[in-house]
Structure 1
Amino acid sequence: MAKKQLPQYQCKSCGDSFSRWAGKCPSCGEWNQIEEVTNTSSGRFDSPTQQKPKDRKYTDPKSIGSVVSDAHIRTSTGFSELDLVLGGGIVPGSLVLVGGEPGVGKSTLVLEIAKNIAGEGKVLYISGEESASQIGLRAKRMGVHSDNILLSSEVYAENISQMISDLNPKVVFIDSIQTILKESLVNQAGTITQLRESSQIFLETAKRTSVPIFLIGHITKEGQIAGPKVLEHLVDTVLYFEGDRFNYYRILRAVKNRFGAVGDTAIFEMVFGGLKEVLDRHRLFISPESEERSGSVLSSVMEGSRAISVEVQALVTKSSYGQARRMAEGLDNRRVILLSAVLEKYLGFPLSESDIFSNLAGGLSIDEPSLDLAIAASIASSFKDKPVAREIGFLGEVGLSGEVRSVGQISLRLKELAGIGISKVYIPQGNFKEVEGVFPSLELTPVKHLQELGF
């Protein structure tokens, strides 16, 4: 008598499996995310690209010195900044996940990349959300007329895998992975089981054919790619496309990259004809006006392998309520609260009676301790209504006792500040010997404590 299969349940949010249903997931704490899944008898070997263990012969191992690197055959996306984010271009056989909120421009971005690559060979665009006519309308607006861009509305992963093997395109775009189905499963598209099995098929196809595949993923209300524990662990690179739908600028950030640095960013401007690459970042993150204003100071942060100049702004006003407010945009609100307490204790500022609003100009979001000194200086400047000269920069982490601690990659940060016309920089005492005499155009002032800033 055949053994009866017990029902299996899986959380749509985190992907963990359970033997019974529950209203709240024990692993991630999400409510109403656990659903019953179908357990197929064939298991993970349903993939057309796999053989069963008894028929499979292992691949002979090679010495690491004999492995030939394929870094020299990367494909350019047509955007120099995006190539830098990817680590130098698109790696053959890589699986890249691009996530973003609805309407942020993910489909526009991949169509721009397709337009740039179409001159080198065929590009396969799989759309499970839009019809070919809808994509054609966008392509007409963007000026895309290449016959090398092939459109398909196929939604079954096995058929897409076979299509890739037959056509052997230069690159494949799948928009979106939440609409793709594995035919042997009865689960709905977008469930954890379908995401895992479909992505596994595409991963095997990319490695077997050496065709790079881009997967477009949706963002949940918590700001994560739907099915994060499934998709992000399978793919080689994860790119987040950030930005307000009602703003013109978009930021593409690498949060995982097996072929390059993590944290690098590319900035695009949304125009009528598509996306335009922004090469001059200074006009976005630093106000062009040379007028000195209280509460505005300059600093530098690391985004992946590059340093970026930023403008930290603060507004300190008398509180209209019983409890003073602390609000931050683009900065860690907890750091602002901590630094305001340090300023009150060691510099004697009565900030408990004032509201503090802190902002990182240009819409950039950074959570880096090296901005502590700049945040503290901007708060002190606004409270005293004492403008800081535009030729002065601030770098350093601030401790709970007001001491200024060293920061990493100080040379890259100072080089960036010198490039935008900064002539004087307050840096931690611990970094001074490392860069003393290296930058003749900069007057470096080492500080040990906030009290040495002179506010």
Structure 2
Amino acid sequence: MAKKQLPQYQCKACGDSFSRWAGKCPSCGEWNQIEEVTNTSQGRFDSHGPTKPRDRKYTEPKSIGSVVSDSHSRIHTGFTELDLVLGGGIVPGSLVLVGGEPGVGKSTLVLEIAKNIADQGKVLYISGEESASQIGLRAKRMGVSSENILLSSEVYAENISQMISDLQPKVVFIDSIQTILKESLVNQAGTVTQLRESSQVFLETAKRTSVPIFLIGHITKEGQIAGPKVLEHLVDTVLYFEGDRFNYYRILRAVKNRFGAVGDTAIFEMVLGGLKQVLDRHRLFISPETEERSGSVLSSVMEGSRAISVEVQALVTKSSFGQARRMAEGLDNRRVILLSAVIEKYLGLPLSESDIFSNLAGGLSVDEPSLDLAITASIVSSFRDKPIPRETGYLGEVGLSGEVRSVGQISLRIKELVGIGISQVFLPHGNWKEVEGMFPSTKLTPIKHLQELGL
């Protein structure tokens, strides 16, 4: 008698598997995320016992020197910023997952990419959520009318795989992965099993045909891509499309990339005719006014492989309550509390009697220790109502004893600041040897302690 197969359960949040259902995941602590999955593994055992080794086929191994080549050039998307996020363009045979909240513009983005790539060859657009007429309305608004963009409403993974093999398109877009079904499974579309198995089919198809495939995914209310974490492990690149903080601006961020740096971002602006890339980031994160104001300090942060100039603002006012408040927008609130305590102890400022409000201009959210010195300078500037020259930048991490610690990628950060007209940069003394003599037209002031700021 065949042994009864026990049900298996998997957490959609972290991907861990369990032998029984539970309301709360023991691994990640999330509630109502564990679902039953179907065991689809087969071939290891049959009615006659284990499969014999001679029945199995394997790919002949090759030396690494014979497979390393540049024969596959990357496919350019038509957006220089997006190409940078992808590590130089779309890699043939790659599987890319694009996630974002409803209405943020994911379908508009992939249609813009399809429009740019259609000049190079056929583009296959699989839509399981919208009909061809709905996509046609959006395409008409965006001015997309290429004969090389092929639309299909197919929802079965096996049929889509066969379609890709027959058509051999330049790029494939699947919108969205939550609507795709694997015909051999009885689960509904969007379940853990369907997501995992359908994505596995597309992964195998992409590697076999060298056709890059983009999967569009939904975002849950917690801000994560809907489905198990194992989905993110399967794909080569994971991109998050964010837009709620920037109103009509959209940010595309790489959180996983096997072919480039993680953390690179591309900024788009939503206009009537679709999405337009923003090349001049300074007008977003730095005020264009040249007037000097107290509490406003310039610095730079690393976003993936490049530096971005940012403006740190602080407002220090007399507290109207019994306990002073510490609030931060775009910065780590705990870091602001820590730095205010360091300032009070080593610079002698009575901040315990004042409210401190700190902000990163432009709506950008960054949690990087290299902004410590800029936050400190902005708080001191606001408290003393002493404006800091707009040609001055601050870089460095601040320790609990008031020492200024070294930061990474210091040359890239200074180069970014010099590019926006900064003529003096305060930096950690530990980074001085790395950049000594590199920027002859810029005054570099190394400091070891907050007391050397001179504010």
TM-score, length of structure 2 as denominator length = 0.95
Partner SS for 2:425: strand
- Contact 1:104-1:245 at 8 Å conserved across structures: no
Q: Which residue of 1 aligns with 2:135?
A: 135
* Structure 2 Cα separation of the partners of residues 56 and 313 of structure 1: 64
Matched pairs, number: 450
- Contact 2:8-2:38 at 8 Å conserved across structures: yes
Structure 2, unaligned stretches of length 5 or more? 46-50
Q: Which residue of 2 aligns with 1:163?
A: 163
Q: Which residue of 1 aligns with 2:273?
A: 273
* Structure 2 Cα separation of the partners of residues 72 and 39 of structure 1: 36
Residues 62-101 of structure 1 mapped to structure 2, 5 A cutoff: 62-70=62-70, 73-101=73-101
- Contact 2:245-2:363 at 8 Å conserved across structures: no
State whether structure 2 residue 426 is matched by structure 1 residue 426: yes
State whether structure 2 residue 185 is matched by structure 1 residue 185: yes
Query: Structure 2 vs 1, CA of residues 123 and 245 (structure 1 numbering), >3 Å: closer, same or farther?
Result: farther
Q: Which residue of 1 aligns with 2:377?
A: 377
Query: Structure 2 vs 1, CA of residues 109 and 371 (structure 1 numbering), >3 Å: closer, same or farther?
Result: same
Residues 209-358 of structure 1 mapped to structure 2, 5 A cutoff: 209-244=209-244, 247-358=247-358
* Structure 1 Cα separation of the partners of residues 14 and 414 of structure 2: 42
- Contact 1:327-1:357 at 8 Å conserved across structures: yes
Opposite residue 166 of structure 2, the aligned amino acid is: D
Query: Structure 2 vs 1, CA of residues 52 and 422 (structure 1 numbering), >3 Å: closer, same or farther?
Result: farther
Structure 1, unaligned stretches of length 5 or more? 46-50
* Structure 2 Cα separation of the partners of residues 162 and 54 of structure 1: 28
Q: Which residue of 2 aligns with 1:172?
A: 172
Opposite residue 194 of structure 1, the aligned amino acid is: Q
Q: Which residue of 2 aligns with 1:145?
A: 145
Opposite residue 249 of structure 1, the aligned amino acid is: Y
RMSD, aligned CA: 1.9
Opposite residue 451 of structure 1, the aligned amino acid is: Q
**Which deviates more, 16-25 or 155-164?**
16-25
Q: Which residue of 2 aligns with 1:36?
A: 36
Cα displacement (A) at 1:319 = 2.4
- Contact 2:12-2:229 at 8 Å conserved across structures: no
Cα displacement (A) at 1:81 = 1.0
**Which deviates more, 190-199 or 288-297?**
190-199
Cα displacement (A) at 1:325 = 2.2
Q: Deviations over 1:21-41 (max 9, x none)?
A: 222111121112223333347
Cα displacement (A) at 1:395 = 0.5
Q: Which residue of 1 aligns with 2:394?
A: 394
Q: Which residue of 2 aligns with 1:104?
A: 104
* Structure 2 Cα separation of the partners of residues 177 and 18 of structure 1: 25
Opposite residue 6 of structure 1, the aligned amino acid is: L
**Which deviates more, 242-251 or 180-189?**
242-251
Cα displacement (A) at 1:52 = 11
TM-score, length of structure 1 as denominator length = 0.95
Partner SS for 1:58: coil
State whether structure 2 residue 123 is matched by structure 1 residue 123: yes
Partner SS for 1:120: coil
Cα displacement (A) at 1:71 = 6.6
- Contact 2:373-2:397 at 8 Å conserved across structures: yes
Q: Deviations over 1:205-235 (max 9, x none)?
A: 0000000000111112222212352111111
Q: Deviations over 1:17-76 (max 9, x none)?
A: 22222221111211122233333474799xxxxx99764422222221222424751110
- Contact 2:248-2:269 at 8 Å conserved across structures: yes
Q: Which residue of 2 aligns with 1:58?
A: 58
Cα displacement (A) at 1:435 = 1.4
* Structure 2 Cα separation of the partners of residues 79 and 281 of structure 1: 15
Cα displacement (A) at 1:297 = 0.5
- Contact 1:90-1:212 at 8 Å conserved across structures: yes
Q: Deviations over 1:78-115 (max 9, x none)?
A: 00111111111110000011111221111111110000
- Contact 2:325-2:356 at 8 Å conserved across structures: yes
Cα displacement (A) at 1:245 = 7.2
* Structure 2 Cα separation of the partners of residues 436 and 173 of structure 1: 49
- Contact 1:10-1:18 at 8 Å conserved across structures: yes
Q: Deviations over 1:394-444 (max 9, x none)?
A: 000100111001111111111111111111110111111221221111111
Q: Deviations over 1:135-154 (max 9, x none)?
A: 11111111111111111111
User: Identity of counterpart residues, as a percentage?
Assistant: 90
- Contact 2:312-2:378 at 8 Å conserved across structures: yes
* Structure 2 Cα separation of the partners of residues 153 and 323 of structure 1: 60
- Contact 2:373-2:396 at 8 Å conserved across structures: yes
Q: Which residue of 2 aligns with 1:48?
A: none
* Structure 1 Cα separation of the partners of residues 31 and 441 of structure 2: 58
Query: Structure 2 vs 1, CA of residues 2 and 118 (structure 1 numbering), >3 Å: closer, same or farther?
Result: same
- Contact 1:174-1:216 at 8 Å conserved across structures: yes
Q: Deviations over 1:249-286 (max 9, x none)?
A: 11111111111111111111111110001111111111
